[in-house]
Structure 1
Amino acid sequence: MKEHLQKPEPGTPSPQTLNDWLTYCESLHPVGIDMGLTRISAVARRMGLAFDCPIIIVAGTNGKGSTCAMLEAILLQAGYRTGVFTSPHLVHFEERCRVRGDIVSAADLVPQFARVEAARTSQGEAISLTYFEFTTLAILQLLADAKLDVVILEVGLGGRLDAVNMLDADCAVITSIDLDHMEYLGPDRESIGREKAGIMRAGKPVVVSDPMPPQSVVDHAAAVGADLWRFGADFNFSGDKQQWGWAGRGRRYAGLAYPALRGANQLVNASGVLAALTALRDRLPVTAQAVRNGLSMVELPGRFQIIPGQPTLVLDVAHNPHSVAALTENLDAMGFYPCTHAVFGAMADKDLAPMLARIGPLIDKWYFTDLPTPRAASAADLQARWKAGVTRSDVSATTHASPQQALQAAVAAADPTDRIVVFGSFYAVGGILKDGTPRLSAPHLAA
């Protein structure tokens, strides 16, 4: 770790606000993503960071946020004091941390950043941390101090070397596994699965809700001696258009209403949630009524979120081929719309061709947008990549400087019976939600 030690800068002004701290964190480390547990674990030891409640860690390519939200909703309904850490955020950094169901305040976070900095620079040598490592430590310390009954932690990237994996999961959940972040996690599902399997612990349950997981996940569970709960073998669901049921080891739920989160894929996520709660029932017992209430009340902005009004507006942070395929299926199931308009912004390193090809047949008018991060593909580049694969002559495309401007253009062109879908990066959907939930009849969104 020698290369990550540095002498503390004397007389450096201390950040005062949360935004000050976030700006400061961005400047500390030479690269934005530097995977590994050595640095963050060393600072965590200096801080004395520890939890005295069960920890659930959730990894996967898609479905992590939905899984965390459903776990939280059910456990809240069961009367437990919950803490949740997810990333990234849509609009405000504080969204990354919820305590007892409520988003924490900036004022709650600021002292925790100061504690991380004090530990990071103590003992005469400062340990360099990435933005994600520093902010993760601040949030984890807040959660550790909050006298909680259970903590739910979402993996940021991968699993084995992700910051939250310095903690031992009492129950691990691995959702769908697909191709994303391949420059860090490997070129295929087997490699990516191996990285995500790193959150497993010996003798502890690991719930794999991917119906067809890579063999590397199954093999790693056996190698470390984890208690594998596999979709289709240890738990499963059945249902019709009215209700669904779940069966797992020693437990059944019948006559469940569909989760409040929309999309057919949510039943797979919900099945993994019920398996995790069943695996932890000795420590965190929940009633069938808590399950029903939690699933009926769960909320998660930006996941196939349908905004009431005319035209219909759909927001979804689908930003890889697997999630775009799920979005396409969900859009197809909505029924007929005369015209579908799509606002799209994405990172430059995404596998854009299969994403655009998959959803392309449903889209009649494209509105490509720039995003406020250097990692993003420009609107012009997105349009060029779309043109390279387009097969329809009746589709139009324009470019815009921001998601809000792109949405305004779509609203101006749309009839009341049309549909507008905003998808791609968190920056794209967050750019629409930054002024609150949009109302398409509002003056600032009118043509």
Structure 2
Amino acid sequence: MQFNADTLDAWLAHLEQLHPNAIDMGLERVARVRDAMQLKPAFPVIIVGGTNGKGSTCTMLSAAYRAAGFKVGTYTSPHLLHYNERVAIDLVPASDARLVAGFRAVEAARGEDSLTYFEFGTLAAMHQFIAEGVDVAVLEVGLGGRLDAVNVFEPDVAAVVSIDIDHQDYLGDTREAIGYEKAGIFRAGKPAFCADPLPPESLLAYAKNSGIDLQCIGRDFSFINEVTQWRWRGRQGQKPGLPFPALRGAYQLGNASLVIAILDALHERLPVSIGDIKRGLVEVELAGRYQVLPGRPSIVLDVAHNPHAASALAHNLSNQGFFQTTHAVFGALADKDIAGVVELLKDRIDVWHVANLDVPRAAPAEKVAGLITTTGAARVHIYPDVFSAFTAARSAAGENDRIAAFGCFKVVADMLALKPR
């Protein structure tokens, strides 16, 4: 008997219990339902994978296409406050009604196939993009690449932003193993890009052995920081006088360079002018990516949840200016390299406010605090939730201090729900 409901909350509850495993790598079930739904996009599809930087890259791409007047569908994950954030048309989150219509279409077609939460949502997103007649779809890989649900669709362009250690239980515990999995989104005869400055040999070999023309940052495209502006270089020439992306962080120049390379690759089908690119760069918005809130004390929100992202956050914090004391509001998932994250940030944090998180995979605050203490940190406090941790940090911080809330998406989501200031 098919499930049916009128509300988005009811559908999301259904999705959460539909499949026995939250993650079930493989494309066979998703492909069968895709075919049953006859999901054959007639528009270009861009798939973006990587350990970190996927969301920023997808959002900048979509902002540029929107500036050029194209109708763009964007599928990202996870969401911060509302599921609707995952599916957007012209960067506007989908309505409950649109999402429910997509879920109903998947439910009607899946038959006996059981789908995970992410698989179900991926098919529903593409159903909506086709129904609404988008000009281009930008799809963010959920986990890995080769066996991820978005890879059931044939990309016109595929890009890997970065490769580092994360999700070891599913992807392997070396950059080489992870690089192979992420390279699985590349297709022979289609443009492929990598923005990691040191791509693993496995990714390069995958491209070479598959007859893929892989363009790499630093070799085939690059950027030059000219202090007040920046310059892009690629196979087709240069684009000077570019504004810095509205998304903060030095690493965003690498992401923006990848975006321009992708735009160039699809230019004949989707022409985007230099003016559109500039407008997209300055208008782009994405919560939780080194997001600095106005006012004092300075409050920084960042979804840094693995060592690669923690390294970028540490760099950004060191370049933000002088603050007498930096307080951390921190929580983490148990399957992450918590010790690695703490090690990279220990010299940037003076006081740690560790919160318990009400999500299934959360690491107990006591365990997280113990890991922090082993680094020699003297001031570590434990709280029942993010609200209590932030309240304590806000009370202790002076106007010349800083609060950095990070560790996982749940920390940033709870902070945004609090609307701190």
If the length of structure 1 is used for normalisation, what is the TM-score? 0.92
Which residue, 21, 33, 50 being the options, matches 1:60?
A: 50
SS at match of 1:434: helix
Question: Is the counterpart of residue 145 in structure 1 residue 131 in structure 2?
Answer: yes
Contact 2:46 2:137 in 1 (8 A): yes
Q: Deviations over 1:156-200 (max 9, x none)?
A: 000000000000110001101000001100110010000000000
Question: Is the counterpart of residue 214 in structure 1 residue 200 in structure 2?
Answer: yes
Structure 2 residue aligned with 1:375: 361
How many residue pairs match? The answer is 421
Report how far residue 101 of structure 1 moved: 2.3
Report how far residue 13 of structure 1 moved: 5.9
Question: Is the counterpart of residue 81 in structure 1 residue 71 in structure 2?
Answer: yes
Question: Is the counterpart of residue 130 in structure 1 residue 130 in structure 2?
Answer: no
Which residue, 340, 349, 369 being the options, matches 1:354?
A: 340
Contact 1:74 1:291 in 2 (8 A): yes
Change (3 A) 1:13 1:189: closer
Contact 2:3 2:107 in 1 (8 A): no
Structure 1 residue aligned with 2:403: 420
Structure 1 residue aligned with 2:108: 118
Question: Is the counterpart of residue 101 in structure 1 residue 91 in structure 2?
Answer: yes
The amino acid of 2:409's aligned partner reads F
Structure 2 residue aligned with 1:406: 389
SS at match of 2:208: helix
Q: Deviations over 1:210-242 (max 9, x none)?
A: 111011111111111222111111111111321
Which residue, 396, 402, 418 being the options, matches 2:379?
A: 396
Contact 1:258 1:295 in 2 (8 A): yes
Structure 2 unaligned spans of 5+: none
Which residue, 286, 301, 304 being the options, matches 2:272?
A: 286
Q: Deviations over 1:354-396 (max 9, x none)?
A: 21011001111111111121101011111111112x224xx31
The amino acid of 2:52's aligned partner reads N
* Counterpart Cα distance in 2 of 1:260 and 1:427: 23
Structure 2 residue aligned with 1:173: 159
Structure 1 unaligned spans of 5+: 1-9, 441-447
SS at match of 2:300: strand
The amino acid of 1:412's aligned partner reads S
Contact 1:251 1:278 in 2 (8 A): no
Structure 2 residue aligned with 1:156: 142
Contact 1:345 1:369 in 2 (8 A): yes
The amino acid of 1:45's aligned partner reads D
Change (3 A) 1:439 1:31: closer
Contact 1:159 1:197 in 2 (8 A): yes
SS at match of 1:358: helix
Structure 1 residue aligned with 2:290: 304
* Counterpart Cα distance in 2 of 1:164 and 1:173: 13
* Counterpart Cα distance in 1 of 2:221 and 2:358: 43
Structure 2 residue aligned with 1:19: 9
Which residue, 270, 273, 285 being the options, matches 2:259?
A: 273
- 1:192-341 pair list within 5 angstroms: 192-341=178-327
The amino acid of 1:422's aligned partner reads A
* Counterpart Cα distance in 1 of 2:68 and 2:62: 10
The amino acid of 2:221's aligned partner reads F
Report how far residue 75 of structure 1 moved: 0.9
Report how far residue 251 of structure 1 moved: 2.7
The amino acid of 1:108's aligned partner reads R
The amino acid of 1:391's aligned partner reads G
Change (3 A) 1:13 1:320: closer
* Counterpart Cα distance in 1 of 2:410 and 2:63: 25
SS at match of 1:199: coil
Report how far residue 106 of structure 1 moved: 1.0
Q: Deviations over 1:124-180 (max 9, x none)?
A: xx1111111112111121112111111000000000000000001100011010000
Percent of aligned pairs sharing the same letter: 48
If the length of structure 2 is used for normalisation, what is the TM-score? 0.98
**After the TM superposition, which segments of 4 or more aligned residues of structure 1 sit over 4 Å from their partners?**
none
Q: Report which stretch shifted further, 44-53 or 324-333.
A: 44-53
